[in-house]
Amino acid sequence: MRKTGQSIAIQRITPPRRVWWLVTIGAITLVAIAAGVYTERRRDARQQLTAAGAQFLIQPNWASQALGEFCPLGLEHILHVGISGSTATDQALRVLGRLPETQGLALRGLAVTGEFLLHVSPHRRLEAFEIIECPMFDDRYLDELSRVYPSLEILSLHGTPISDLGIGGLRRHERLRSLDLSATDITDGAREMIVQLPAVRDLNVSENRITDRFVVSVLDRLPLTKLIAGDTAISDRAILDASSSTLRAIGLAGTRITDEGLEALARFPALKVVDVRRCGVTASGIEALAARVPLLRIITTDGELGDWYFE
């Protein structure tokens, strides 16, 4: 600042050009270091998961498209991670938090407890989580599951010892549309929590100790499109007392359904598929239902099953 008579002239001080270059180079260096650390952590995570028997579904991204087969580990986009029947531990699974873009995770037949969830930051992109036939994953970790994966739309807990006490841990999954609780330890007591999951459309509760009350409650209070309740103690009363305008498929294999319950299925206007394998229905009962609902697909043998369970 320089005084000239009564006026004050302000002289703008412009940093030397080399200062701007130093700042720019410093910023680029910091970004490069951060990117390097990020890539290294991802590379290490993939290597550890590979050692644990993981398989990956890779989605092409800018790095893989530009570099092709020369794309280094850590830059690719991992869409899905699956680990089946390996010796993977909770310790090994902690690195899942380093793959924030993953949308699907499937764990099958592992001796993991769910303790790894305590060490994973919230992951809002994961939409599908399957932990199947993992006998050590129990009620204690369902709350953590809601914290870590709050955006789940598909959840399978098949073959885990989840019970009525733990189902409350699912209450925060407002986007959950497909829920598989087959071969768990739930009973009728779980129905009050399940009907509070507003987005659920596909529900599998087969191989559980549920009764007619459970089926009536979920059909009356949820707009289900598919219900699989096979190998349970439900009877004709479940069908006679329930109603649904949205149900398109129902699995009743291995239940106590007879011709009376079969006939009552004609009251479900949207129904397209019914599985009555190993039930007490007769050929005449099946013919009578087929006559009333000509477009209904009635499955009576394993050979007719197809893939509708997975649609």
CA distance 294 to 131: 39
> For residue range 26-49, what is the model confidence (pLDDT) as tens digits?
555 554 444 444 466 677 778 888
User: What values do phi and psi take at 287, rounded to 5?
Assistant: -65, -40
User: What values do phi and psi take at 162, rounded to 5?
Assistant: -65, 135
User: What values do phi and psi take at 202, rounded to 5?
Assistant: -125, 115
CATH topology of domain 225-311: 3.80.10
17-200 under CATH 3.80.10.10, yes or no? yes
- Domain borders along the chain are 17-200, 225-311
| 57 against 72, higher pLDDT | 57
What is the rounded average pLDDT of the residues 243-270? Answer: 96
CA distance 143 to 187: 19
> For residue range 281-304, what is the model confidence (pLDDT) as tens digits?
999 999 999 999 999 999 998 776
> For residue range 78-105, what is the model confidence (pLDDT) as tens digits?
889 999 987 888 998 998 888 888 899 9
Same fold, 17-200 and 225-311: yes
Contact predicate 156/180, CB 8 Å? yes
Q: How far is CA 213 from the centre of its chain?
A: 26
- Percent of the chain residues past pLDDT 90, beyond the cut: 62
User: What values do phi and psi take at 93, rounded to 5?
Assistant: -80, -5
What is the rounded average pLDDT of the residues 121-145? Answer: 92
Overall pTM surpassing 0.85 (yes/no): no
pLDDT at position 70, please?
44
Three-state SS annotation for the chain: CEEECCEEECCCCCCCHHHHHHHHHHHHHHHHHHHHHHHHHHHHHHHHHHHCCEEEEEECCHHHHHHHHHCCCCCCEEEEEEEECCCCCHHHHHHHHHCCCCCEEEEECCCCCCHHHHHCCCCCCCCEEEEECCCCCCHHHHHHHHHHCCCCCEEECCCCCCEHHHHHHHCCCCCCCEEECCCCECEHHHHHHHCCCCCCCEEECCCCECCHHHHHHHHHHCCCCEEECCCCCCEHHHHHHCCCCCCCEEECCCCECEHHHHHHHHHCCCCCEEECCCCECCHHHHHHHHHHCCCCEEECCHHHCCCHHHC
What is the rounded average pLDDT of the residues 3-20? Answer: 57
User: What values do phi and psi take at 151, rounded to 5?
Assistant: -105, 20
| 91 against 212, higher pLDDT | 212
- List Cβ neighbours of 3 (8 Å cut-off, separation of 6 or more): 9
Residue 62 reports pLDDT greater than 60:
no
Burial 154-191 (b: 16+ CB within 10 A, else e): bbbbbbbebebebbbbbebbeebbbbbbbbbbbebebb
The region of weakest confidence among 66-70, 104-108, 132-136, 163-167 is: 66-70
The region of weakest confidence among 69-78, 124-133, 241-250, 256-265 is: 69-78
